[in-house]
Structure formats: C-alpha cells, structure tokens
C-alpha cells in the first residue's frame, strides 16, 4: 500500500476512522449565513467523496458574545441546527465524518459585545472586551456544552473545542491575558480550569459515542504564553476530562512569527506535537504546512503524531486523499500556502476560494461539464492562465494544442519558484505537467505561435502574458541597470550594493532573492526557527527566543515613488512577513523617492525633496508590467476573434489568482 501510516485506520472506541487525515478547521465565509449552507454542504460533500478521514467545520460561535464578527456563524438555538443538518447529511451520504468546531472568539471578537477573562484589548482588534464575571464564566461553559449538544442533534460526529490560536479558552490559559484572581485565574491549575470544565461537562452531556477533539495551544509564540510544563499539565487534564483526540494549535493570531505562510518549512511545527507524545495516550494531530503525502507519511512514520491535519491542501485539491491512496501524488494540485484566495479573502469579508483551484467553495455553482461539441482549440502561452485554461478545456473534451515559446511550461511561475521561501511554486508546475500529459494536451515547447499557425483552429486563446514596464531616467540604458528578468531568468551578476526600483510583489521578491544566503531557510527548519526566534528547546514561555536572522549578502535599497511604507499594498496575511523578513536583513525600504539619474557614483534620487546618492553597483527595475498584446492584435487584424486572458488581457494588478480563475472560467464557456 502507498503511504501505509497515512492510510492506517484509527480506532477511537465507538468509531474507526479510515485514515489519519483530518481536514482542519477553516473559515470559508459560508458559515455565517443560513442561505449559504447548501453551498457549504456541496463543499464538504466533495471533500468527503475525496476520502478524508474526518473533517472539521470552520469555527461556529456558541453565543453572541463568542462571535468572531457581527452575525457570524452561531449554534446556540435549536433552530440553528436545521442548517447544520444540510452539512451532516451531505457528508454522511458520501460516507464521510464531520465534527463542528466550537469557537468562542473572546477578545478577538470583532464587535463591541466581546468578552474575555480580563479587560485587556488585543493588539489586532479595536474593541476592548468586557471581563467575564464568575457567573459569566459559568454561563459561557454552559454555552459550549449546549452548543455541543445541538451539534450532536444536528448530526455531527463530534465537536472540536477550539482552545488555541489566542481565542477565549487560550486567553484563560495564558498569564498574558488572564489577570484574574478567582477560581478561573492565578496559578496554572486555575487558569486551565475553564478549558478542562468545558471538556468535562461537554463529555457528560454528549455521552461516550461522540468525538471531542480538543485543539490544544502547544506553542504560543507570544510573550507571556504558556510554559511547556503548563501545556503538558493541560493535555493530561483534557485527556482525563474526556477528550477523544488532541489537535495541535500553533501561534496566537497576534504572534509576529509566521506559522502557515509558504516560507514556513513543510511540517515545520510537527516537532511540537512530537514533544507531547508519551505524555498522554490520546491520538495527537500534527498541523501546519503539511501539504503532500510524502510529508504526512514522514511525520506519521517518524512517530511525530498519530494524525495529520490539513485544511488549505484540501481546499486546493478535494481529491487529495484518493489520489494519495492510489499512489498518484504527482496528480495532486498542491496548496502553495500563498493565502491569496483563502485567508486573504476571509480577512476581506469575502468568500474563501483557492488560487490553484478557483472552484473551491463554489462547487455547486461552478460545474465543469463535458463540452456540447468537441473543438480544436489553440492556447498560446504556458503561464498559469494558459495552463488552467488548456487543462480545463481538455477535461471538457476539447482537443487542445498549447504553444509555448520558452523551453518550459509555467510562464512567470518559473521566476517565482526561484525566490527563497517560494519553493512550493514548483509544485504547481509539476501538477500542470502531469495534468497536461494525463489529458493528452499537445504541448509544443520552443514554439512561438503566430497568425499563420493559428488560422486552422476553431478557437484561439491568447494568454501571452506581460512584458516588464521600462523606466526612463538619465542613465537607465546603462548595462548596470537591470530588469528583474535579467536577475531571475538570465542570472546576470549583481553587485554587493543594489537599489531596486519598484516595491510591489516582484520588488519584494527580488529583494529577498538578492539578500538570501542559499539554500533557502524554508528547506532547513532549524535555520528557519533561528531566523524567527522560535525556541525549539522550548525553555521560555511561549517558545520564543531572540531572533537571529542571517545577515544579508548585499546592501539593498527597496524604493517606490508613492509616499508611505513600501509593501503596504502586499497581501494582508503575508505582506507583514515579507516586510519583517527584509527588515531583519536591514533592507532599507523607502517611499516618496524620485529617480534622477544613474552614473558611476550610484543612483541619484530625490528623497523628501533632498538630493541623495545611493552608492549602488546595480539598479534592478521592478516597476510593474504591461500586456504582451502584439499577437492578439495581429490575430484581430487577420480577422480572427481570439479570447485574450491573463496578463495579455489586463496586466495591472494581475496575479496568478486572477490568471488561473480567468483561464478556468473561459474554459468552462467554450
Ligand atoms: P505569464 O505567466 O506571463 O505567461 C505567459 C507565457 O506566454 C510565457 O511563458 C511566454 O513565454 C508565453 N508566450 C508569449 N507569447 C507567446 C507566443 N507568441 N507563442 C508562444 N508562447 C508565448 N502571482 C501571484 O499570484 N502570487 C505570487 O506570489 C507571485 N509571485 C511572483 C513572483 C515573481 C518573481 C514573478 C515574476 C511573478 C509572480 N507572480 C505572482 C505573478 C504571476 O506569476 C503572474 O500573474 C502570472 O504568471 C500571469 O500568468 P499569465 O498566464 O497571464 O502569463
Ligand atoms: P506592482 O505590484 O504593480 O508593483 C510595481 C511597482 O513599481 C510599484 O512599487 C510601483 O510603485 C512601481 N512603479 C510603477 N510604475 C513605475 C514607473 N513608471 N517608474 C517607477 N516605478 C514604477 O507589480 P509587480 O511587483 O511587477 O508585480 C506584478 C504582479 O505580480 C502584481 O499584481 C502582484 O500582485 C503579483 N505578485 C504577487 C506576489 C505575492 O507575493 N502575492 C509576488 C510577486 C508578484 P510606485 O508607482 O509608487 O513607484
Ligand atoms: Fe493554498 Fe493558496 Fe489555495 Fe489558500 S489560496 S488553499 S494557500 S493554494
């Protein structure tokens, strides 16, 4: 059998799970409105069909005070259970199992009714919570228990009690947020009483034949977080109180250490779960940045955990488990941990989806049906827009020819994958290579498509991408002024001091590329932990030590014309990581810069109206892009009506999310 540890059944007493795959809780934005539960049911049903052992819903509040945001998903009244029955029925019809996560946001609640153990505002919300009275604490425990009972009535196989990530239960556990001096605060035993009572009373209320997962905060990554001894004490008490499984929680939301972004090493926190092995006899779940079967199998075979939790990887590929079981890991559409369509959307109050799988969370609305008539279709370019389009067209039964002028498929992803911390981009290209072969797409590399060759097709899709935007200033034609393709595609040498013009996504990536000492710390968990101050020996509370970033290999200035902080427009959940990483490398990030000239002294700029010379050996221009639209124009002139997508259509603010979604969408319509 492929991946024998991953596909070993797990005995829980009243139920046997078919494998060790837990689909971790992920807010999709569909939990909050009753009207969206049919869509949510279709989303979970597709993943149940895909063979996941056990799934957990996004967080559902047990009370109004526990809301994450006003009118967020809640299960506190019998009539709320009706909508949840849609999910449980859909999952059970596919032979799956599903638990509901009970999440009380505490002081992370983005509303004025929030409560907490103590009246302390969190650094990431504008609302100061009300401190719960002793009666309020009792009432809140009752809310959890009632919520679990209702979940059982709604047909769930169990609940997950969210005790980590800095939410209410976690706020009781840590000295940092619990300043109480009553039965619920003070020493470690009293601080953990809230968590333990929730589990104990829930078990009493729901009986033995119901799964209770406790998500235990094992590494908080904040000052004043729990010590390792306290965590072990809590794990033992939670086991004693009746939990069935302990899941791992890593980091509070206010922590300044990245825990799930693409630059975090794969399974980079499994060591924390392993540390708890032997302390309790419950199954332990490892989590964070486990995205491929080889990684999951390694964690399980190495005895680091008994199950693996994956949330985003199953958003990216609902059939992950079926493919892994069949030994077809090359066919998995891998989550690249970019957060661009999932967490970033949730933070913008938009429905989550997935950059590499735009159907995610739109399963019932976005169908990929067989084509009414098979056509001969040419797709020009093999960037992400083209690859998504070509594979979806072929999936629908069209005969597809893909033209790529370069020697490889992937377009700009071939440059993205070279950035330290973006190694996952290789996986998307591997997935598409496999998919193109599987679907027998006729791939013509090193072939520049032109009007003559395209005339014979029924339809032509042009996804010829972009060209870098040139920038003009005195000396900009000097050979020492490079473009980002000179650096990332042609390996042109770059001196020890360099100025980067343009601080968008590519400017930041080029800065990281030029500052880094290979190999990338993402491939070395020990070096990565040192860079971010994660204490793998766990001697200090919260598991934090002073970060020891490696020095930059170059002196770098990252510049933009706009006033203000460079990087302010980077993605919400990942931008801070890029800014912090470059700050640690002492990259100077400057806004409000006017470029005047480049000569032997360096780059002459105006900064706050003052003339300055940045004494650099090279300038790298990363000033955005313009559509590569010449071919589309020629086709129009020849009387063809090409479908133009991706950067060739609109280059401004084009990212792979838009490119893949546009390519897939077009392919469903032809
Ligand atoms: P491209 O990827 O530009 O592909 C176009 C392809 O068409 C090329 O391969 C080209 O050779 C080919 N072509 C052009 N003309 C012809 C012709 N006549 N005949 C045959 N072939 C032709 N986006 C994100 O969302 N997240 C990121 O983290 C991210 N990081 C990036 C990092 C870097 C360093 C770079 C450079 C880009 C990054 N991007 C990122 C942007 C993302 O890669 C692009 O938005 C995406 O590749 C655009 O896809 P596309 O299919 O429109 O075009
Ligand atoms: P971008 O994000 O539009 O940034 C372009 C930068 O160049 C800006 O800093 C802009 O700021 C500057 N600029 C624009 N015109 C200029 C001019 N004429 N002269 C000098 N400077 C100029 O584009 P990009 O960095 O090329 O990225 C391309 C796309 O790839 C983006 O849509 C981005 O989302 C995507 N991408 C995403 C990631 C990611 O991690 N999510 C990473 C890389 C790329 P000023 O005008 O203020 O100078
Ligand atoms: Fe993974 Fe990115 Fe998709 Fe989110 S959007 S599931 S991080 S690939």
Check if 336 has its Cβ closer than 6 Å to any atom of ligand 1: no
pLDDT band at 609 (very low <50, low <70, confident <90, very high): confident
Atom of ligand 2 nearest to the CA of 595: 20
**What's the average model confidence in pLDDT over 199-207?**
98
Predicted model pTM: 0.96
Supply the pLDDT for residue 475: 97
User: Taking the CA of residue 423 as centre, how many other CA atoms within 13 Å lie in the half-sphere pointing to its CB?
Assistant: 15
Ligand 2 geometric centre to CA of 507 (Å): 7
Ligand 3 geometric centre to CA of 354 (Å): 5
Whether the CB-CB separation of 21 and 52 falls below 8 Å is answered with yes
Between 193-206 and 228-241, two packed helices, what is the crossing angle to 10 degrees?
20
- The one-character DSSP state at 115 is E
Query: Which of these ranges, 19-28, 66-75, 536-545, 643-652, has the smallest mean pLDDT?
Result: 643-652
Q: What is the mean pLDDT of the chain?
A: 96
**What's the average model confidence in pLDDT over 578-606?**
96
For the domain 376-467+627-669, what is the CATH code? Answer: 3.40.50.720
Strand order in the sheet with 643-644: 442-444, 399-403, 376-380, 459-462, 643-644
Check if 381 has its Cβ closer than 6 Å to any atom of ligand 1: yes
- The residue ranges of every structural domain in the chain are 10-347, 376-467+627-669, 477-516+552-623
Whether the CB-CB separation of 312 and 337 falls below 8 Å is answered with yes
Say whether 498 sits in a helix, a strand or coil.
strand
Q: Which ligand is nearest to the Cα of residue 500, counting in written order?
A: 2
Check if 413 has its Cβ closer than 6 Å to any atom of ligand 1: yes
**What's the average model confidence in pLDDT over 3-7?**
98
- The one-character DSSP state at 277 is B
Beta strands (DSSP E) in 133-186 are 158-163
Ligand 1 geometric centre to CA of 561 (Å): 25
Check if 509 has its Cβ closer than 6 Å to any atom of ligand 2: yes
**What is 469-492 written as a DSSP string?**
PP---BTTTSTTEEEHHHHHTT--
Ligand 2 geometric centre to CA of 17 (Å): 47
Ligand 3 geometric centre to CA of 105 (Å): 24
* Cis status of the peptide bond prior to 519, with omega within 30 of 0: yes
Q: Which ligand is nearest to the Cα of residue 359, counting in written order?
A: 3
pLDDT (tens digit per residue) in 142-173? 999 999 999 999 999 999 999 999 999 999 99
Atom of ligand 2 nearest to the CA of 468: 26
pLDDT band at 668 (very low <50, low <70, confident <90, very high): very high
Check if 654 has its Cβ closer than 6 Å to any atom of ligand 2: yes
Check if 88 has its Cβ closer than 6 Å to any atom of ligand 3: no
pLDDT (tens digit per residue) in 288-323? 999 999 999 999 999 999 999 999 999 999 999 999
Supply the pLDDT for residue 201: 98
Number of H helices, E strands in the chain: 22, 27
**What's the average model confidence in pLDDT over 411-435?**
97
Supply the pLDDT for residue 651: 84
Strand pairing class (158-163; 98-102): parallel
Ligand 3 geometric centre to CA of 229 (Å): 35
pLDDT at 378 over 90: yes
Supply the pLDDT for residue 351: 97
- Rounded CA-CA distance 66/551 in Å is 44
Say whether 602 sits in a helix, a strand or coil.
strand
Supply the pLDDT for residue 567: 92
pLDDT band at 182 (very low <50, low <70, confident <90, very high): very high
- Rounded CA-CA distance 91/551 in Å is 51
- Rounded CA-CA distance 360/50 in Å is 13
Q: Which helix (H) or strand (E) holds 467?
A: strand 466-468
Check if 626 has its Cβ closer than 6 Å to any atom of ligand 2: no
Positive or negative, the Cα torsion across 66, 56, 260, 484? Answer: negative
Ligand 1 geometric centre to CA of 148 (Å): 48
Say whether 280 sits in a helix, a strand or coil.
strand
Which residue, among 617, 608, 415, has the nearest Cα to 505 in the 3D structure? 415
Partners of 441 in the β-ladder: none
Q: Which of 3, 156, 167, 431 is catalytic?
A: 167
Check if 404 has its Cβ closer than 6 Å to any atom of ligand 1: yes
High-pLDDT (> 90) share of the chain, %: 96
Burial tier of 365 (Cβ tally within 10 Å: 0-12, 13-18, 19+)? exposed
- Rounded CA-CA distance 615/610 in Å is 16
Equal fold, 376-467+627-669 vs 477-516+552-623:
no
Atom of ligand 1 nearest to the CA of 656: 25
Strand pairing class (16-17; 54-60): unpaired
Check if 420 has its Cβ closer than 6 Å to any atom of ligand 1: no
Ligand 1 geometric centre to CA of 482 (Å): 19
Check if 314 has its Cβ closer than 6 Å to any atom of ligand 2: no
Ligand 1 geometric centre to CA of 384 (Å): 6
Q: How many CB atoms are closer than 10 A to CB 628?
A: 18
Of all protein residues, whose CA lies closest to atom 12 belonging to ligand 1?
381
pLDDT (tens digit per residue) in 454-478? 999 999 999 999 999 999 999 999 9
Check if 336 has its Cβ closer than 6 Å to any atom of ligand 3: yes
Of all protein residues, whose CA lies closest to atom 37 belonging to ligand 2?
505
- The one-character DSSP state at 571 is -
High-pLDDT (> 70) share of the chain, %: 100
Which of 338, 358, 429 to mutate to test ligand 3, by most ligand atoms within 8 A of the CB atom? 338
Supply the pLDDT for residue 536: 94
Q: How many CB atoms are closer than 10 A to CB 223?
A: 13
For the domain 10-347, what is the CATH code? Answer: 3.20.20.70
Check if 471 has its Cβ closer than 6 Å to any atom of ligand 2: yes
pLDDT (tens digit per residue) in 243-262? 999 999 999 999 999 999 99
pLDDT (tens digit per residue) in 353-374? 999 999 999 999 998 999 999 9
- The one-character DSSP state at 106 is G
pLDDT band at 662 (very low <50, low <70, confident <90, very high): very high
Q: Is 43 a catalytic residue?
A: no
Supply the pLDDT for residue 652: 86
Of all protein residues, whose CA lies closest to atom 6 belonging to ligand 3?
312
For the domain 477-516+552-623, what is the CATH code? Answer: 3.50.50.60
Ligand 1 geometric centre to CA of 434 (Å): 19
Check if 500 has its Cβ closer than 6 Å to any atom of ligand 3: no
Whether the CB-CB separation of 226 and 220 falls below 8 Å is answered with yes
pLDDT at 200 over 90: yes
Supply the pLDDT for residue 670: 93
Which residue, among 326, 329, 282, has the nearest Cα to 307 in the 3D structure? 282
Which of 341, 342, 472, 623 to mutate to test ligand 2, by most ligand atoms within 8 A of the CB atom? 623
Which of 312, 429, 432, 659 to mutate to test ligand 3, by most ligand atoms within 8 A of the CB atom? 312
Supply the pLDDT for residue 332: 98
Distances from the Cα of 506 to the Cαs of 376, 487, 496, 596, 653, in angstroms? 36, 12, 20, 22, 11
Maximum C-alpha span of the chain? 82
pLDDT band at 653 (very low <50, low <70, confident <90, very high): confident
Atom of ligand 2 nearest to the CA of 578: 40
């Amino acid at each position: 059998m492929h991946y024998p540890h991953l596909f070993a059944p797990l005995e829980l007493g009243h139920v046997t799970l078919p494998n060790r795959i837990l689909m971790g809780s992920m807010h999709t934005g569909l939990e909050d409105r009753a009207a969206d539960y049919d869509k949510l049911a279709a989303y979970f049903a597709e993943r149940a069909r895909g063979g996941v052992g056990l799934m957990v819903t996004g967080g559902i509040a047990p009370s109004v005070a526990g809301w994450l945001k006003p009118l967020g998903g809640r299960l506190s009244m019998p009539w709320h259970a009706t909508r949840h029955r849609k999910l449980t029925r859909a999952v059970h019809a596919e032979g799956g199992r599903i638990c509901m996560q009970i999440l009380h946001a505490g002081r992370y609640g983005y509303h004025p009714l929030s409560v907490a153990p103590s009246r302390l505002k969190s650094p990431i919300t504008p609302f100061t919570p009300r401190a719960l009275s002793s009666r309020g604490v009792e009432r809140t425990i009752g809310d959890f228990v009632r919520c679990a009972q209702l979940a059982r009535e709604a047909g769930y196989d169990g609940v997950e009690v969210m005790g980590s990530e800095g939410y209410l239960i976690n706020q009781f556990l840590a000295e940092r947020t619990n300043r109480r001096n009553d039965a619920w605060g003070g020493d470690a035993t009293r601080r953990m009483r809230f968590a333990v009572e929730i589990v104990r009373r829930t078990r009493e209320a729901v009986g033995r034949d119901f799964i209770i997962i406790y998500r235990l905060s094992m590494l908080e990554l904040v000052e004043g977080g729990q010590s390792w001894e306290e965590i072990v004490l809590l794990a033992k008490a939670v086991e004693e109180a009746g939990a069935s499984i302990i899941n791992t929680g890593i980091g509070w939301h206010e922590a300044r250490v990245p825990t799930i972004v693409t630059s975090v090493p794969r399974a980079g926190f499994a060591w924390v779960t392993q540390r708890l092995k032997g302390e309790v006899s419950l199954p332990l779940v490892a989590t964070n940045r486990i995205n491929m079967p080889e990684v999951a199998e390694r964690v399980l075979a190495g005895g680091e955990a008994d199950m693996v939790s994956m949330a985003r990887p199953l958003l990216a590929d609902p059939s992950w488990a079926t493919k892994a079981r069949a030994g077809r890991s090359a066919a998995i559409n891998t989550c690249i941990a970019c957060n661009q369509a999932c967490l970033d959307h949730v933070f913008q109050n938009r429905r989550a989806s997935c950059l590499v799988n735009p159907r995610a969370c739109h399963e019932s609305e976005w169908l990929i049906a067989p084509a009414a008539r098979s056509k001969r279709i040419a797709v020009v370019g093999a960037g992400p827009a083209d690859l998504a389009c070509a594979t979806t067209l072929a999936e629908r039964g069209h005969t597809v020819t893909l033209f790529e002028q370069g020697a490889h498929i992937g377009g700009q992803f071939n440059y993205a994958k070279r950035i330290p911390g973006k190694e996952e981009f290789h996986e998307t290209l591997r997935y598409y290579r496999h998919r193109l072969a599987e679907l027998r797409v006729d791939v013509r590399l090193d072939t520049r498509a032109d009007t003559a060759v395209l005339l014979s097709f029924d339809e032509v899709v042009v996804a010829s991408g972009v060209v870098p935007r040139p920038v003009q200033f005195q000396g900009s034609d000097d050979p020492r002024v490079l473009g980002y393709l000179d650096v990332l595609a042609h390996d042109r040498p770059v001196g020890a001091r360099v100025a980067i013009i343009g601080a968008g996504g590519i400017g930041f990536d080029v800065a990281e590329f030029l500052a880094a000492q290979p190999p990338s710390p993402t491939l070395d968990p020990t070096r990565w932990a040192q860079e971010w101050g994660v204490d793998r020996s766990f001697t200090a509370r919260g598991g934090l030590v002073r970060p020891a970033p490696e020095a930059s290999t170059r002196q770098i200035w990252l510049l933009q014309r706009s006033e203000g902080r460079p990087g302010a427009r980077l993605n919400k959940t990942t931008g801070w990581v890029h800014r912090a990483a470059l700050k640690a490398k002492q990259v100077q990030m400057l806004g409000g810069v006017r470029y005047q000239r480049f000569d032997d002294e360096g780059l002459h700029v105006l900064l706050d109206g003052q003339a300055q010379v940045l004494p650099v050996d090279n300038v790298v221009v990363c000033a955005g892009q313009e559509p590569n639209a010449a071919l589309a124009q020629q086709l129009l002139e020849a009387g063809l009506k090409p479908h133009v997508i991706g950067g060739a259509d609109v280059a401004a603010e084009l990212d792979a999310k838009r490119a893949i979604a546009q390519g897939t969408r077009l392919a469903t319509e032809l």
